[in-house]
Amino acid sequence: MTSTLFTNVRIFDGSGADSFAGEVLVEGERIAGVARDGQRLDRGAARVIDGGGATLMPGLIESHAHLGFASCIDRPPGFGPMLEPDVRAEATTHAGAVLLDYGFTSAYSAGAIDAALEVSLREKFASGDLPGPRLRACSFERDGAAAAHGGPGIFQSAHLRQPDVEGMRAWATAMAAMGLDSLKVVLSGESGLQPGTSRIVQFYDEELSAAAEVAHEQGLWLNGHCHATDAIKQALRHGFRVLYHCTWADEEAIDMMEARKDEIFVAPAPGINWANLNEGAAFGITREVAEIQEQHITLERVCELMPKLKKRGIRVLPGGDYGFPWNPIGRNARDLQLFVELFGYTPTEALSAATMLGGQIMGMGDELGLIRQGYLADILLVDGDPTGDVAILQDKGRISAVMKAGRFHRAPSLDQAIRA
């Protein structure tokens, strides 16, 4: 069994507690020991990594992953839904490697372009056949007006069509048969794609009841895209576990979320709104277009709402719809900075949301997201102190080592490693 000991490091354990000087021993794929305050762990035959005072912390966890959107920081822009299937498959695979390379050792999918590919990648990332994060695979995004999330122009009120309960049940059953972890339903519209639709509701309750029945029978989680307050309430009534955006939640919706705070997660995705406003001009999202898309008011509303949810004890996680050409995969850690600058989180609170709470959204809170004995050894070694400045995690050069399940995806430099 391969053993690695990290010494001379500051340990941020993910819990939100203050960092401390210490050592961490990894044996196989798990953390075998954590020492602090001058204590030393048995080296045995372990490879020893001298961190030189660097920060050791849990791997980051993306709560709103869209690998199939496929636009990455290291390639020319290319949007996954518009690519040919074979090109999209290669680009999606590459996106997984990029996400891991930037310190995200786990990813909770918020919707696949190709669900079968996502299931395949989940298994290949887990086995180590391909580099990529731990992945919770999701269905494609079921839209109220069509079977697939097909782009602009598709969002419409449920009341402009007849209910399709059996169609919804058939879709959920087909997705469950593929071996996915969750189903994604676009409960409200999206003004960023079709202006003026974020406040509409796209589904009938009886349709959601049918999907929920299948999901609960098959052990699948339900994820909801829900800007509209009535869409949020629908999601809560039907047992949805992850609520994305939640922009227009009213007090009743907030109360309902608080009542289920131990069962749900909220991922507001500020990253995409910030990118639309600040980096979208080269892609046609001018300030005028952003206004039409309600980007300003959406971000303002989210900035007002998320501190309220945090105060109520509702679990709010980073994850900002990365994968669009103007918001590429590889910039995911920017959400931590937005949590600090826009939502009023401390750096430590933002980091804990991206690690400890990330382990919980993955359904692995008892073994993932913390530097703790017995936990999976998903670990970053960071040059600097992200508890003082989370922005350093956006610089891949500051992440000197990435370990997943006790194996280095990116190993520290040779001058840090000595043989015990």
Q: Residue 87 pLDDT > 80, yes or no?
A: yes
How far apart are the C-alpha atoms of 235 and 223, rounded to whole Å? 8
Predicted confidence band of residue 293 (pLDDT cuts 50, 70, 90):
very high
pTM of the model: 0.95
Could you give all domains of the chain from N- to C-terminal order, each with its CATH number? Answer: 3-58+368-419 (2.30.40.10), 60-332 (3.20.20.140)
Contacts of 235 by beta carbon, 8 Å cutoff, 6+ apart: 187, 222, 224, 226, 243
Structure tokens at 45: 């035959």
Long-range CB pairs of 277-281 (<8 Å, 24+ gap) are 279/326, 279/327, 280/326
What's the pLDDT at 186?
Answer: 95
| pLDDT per position as a tens digit, 6-32 | 999 999 999 999 999 999 999 999 999
Residue 152 pLDDT: 42
Q: What is the mean pLDDT of the chain?
A: 94
Task: In whole angstroms, give the CA distance from residue 171 to residue 211.
Answer: 8
Tens of pLDDT, residue by residue over 354-368, are: 999 999 999 999 999
Which residues make Cβ contacts (< 8 Å) with residue 244, sequence separation at least 6? 64, 110, 223, 224, 225, 226, 266, 267, 268, 269
Residue 416's pLDDT band (boundaries 50, 70, 90)?
low
Q: 33 vs 196, which has greater pLDDT?
A: 33
Structure tokens at 183: 């189903």
- At 419 the pLDDT is 43
